[in-house]
Structure 1
Amino acid sequence: MDPIDEVHLKEPGLVVIDVAAADDSTVLAFQQMLAAQWATATSDRTTRDAGQPGVRLRCYLDMRQEPGT
């Protein structure tokens, strides 16, 4: 994954989460669970690291806002 840039965390309440899971459905379900609780920039695509098992996903949360705002 790319490094977390300072702009991603420029204010309190902003969170960057890197998730690793065995498969796409697991990591996307986890992302949906986060999105149900906080304003989340969701992704519909996972990444795979060559030679490594599983998938990865990065999502961005804004804990200052309610979901859907």
Structure 2
Amino acid sequence: MEAITDVHVSEPGLVVVDIAAADDETVRALHTALATQWATTGVARTTRDPGQPGVRLRCYLDLRQSLAGPADTGGS
């Protein structure tokens, strides 16, 4: 994976998440769960390290941008 640069964590609330799992489905499920809570980058592609088991994915979260869940919609 590429290096984490200063811009990735330039402010409080910005997070770099490296996910490792057995398969693409598991990685994407975790990314989807994160994306329901916070603003996150899309899933471009997973990577495989030669000779290593599983797949990896890097995504970036902005914890300052919490997404509204069903209980937070304020409907009347």
**TM-score normalized by the length of structure 1:** 0.92
Q: Contact 1:16–1:58 (CA<8 Å) still a contact in 2?
A: yes
> What corresponds to 1:62 in structure 2?
62
- In the alignment, what sits opposite 2:41? 41
Q: Determine the structure 1 residue equivalent to 2:30.
A: 30
Partner Cα distance (2:9, 2:40) in 1: 14
Match for 1:62: what amino acid?
A: D
The list of structure 1 runs, each at least 4 consecutive aligned residues, that deviate by more than 4 angstroms after superposition, is none
Higher-Rg structure is 2
Q: Is the 8 A contact 1:40 1:67 kept in 2?
A: no
Structure 1 unaligned regions, length at least 5: none
Give the alignment's Cα RMSD to 1 decimal: 1.3
- Quote how far apart the aligned CAs of 1:4 are: 0.7
Q: Which blocks of at least 5 consecutive residues in structure 2 are unaligned?
A: 69-76
Q: How many residues align?
A: 68
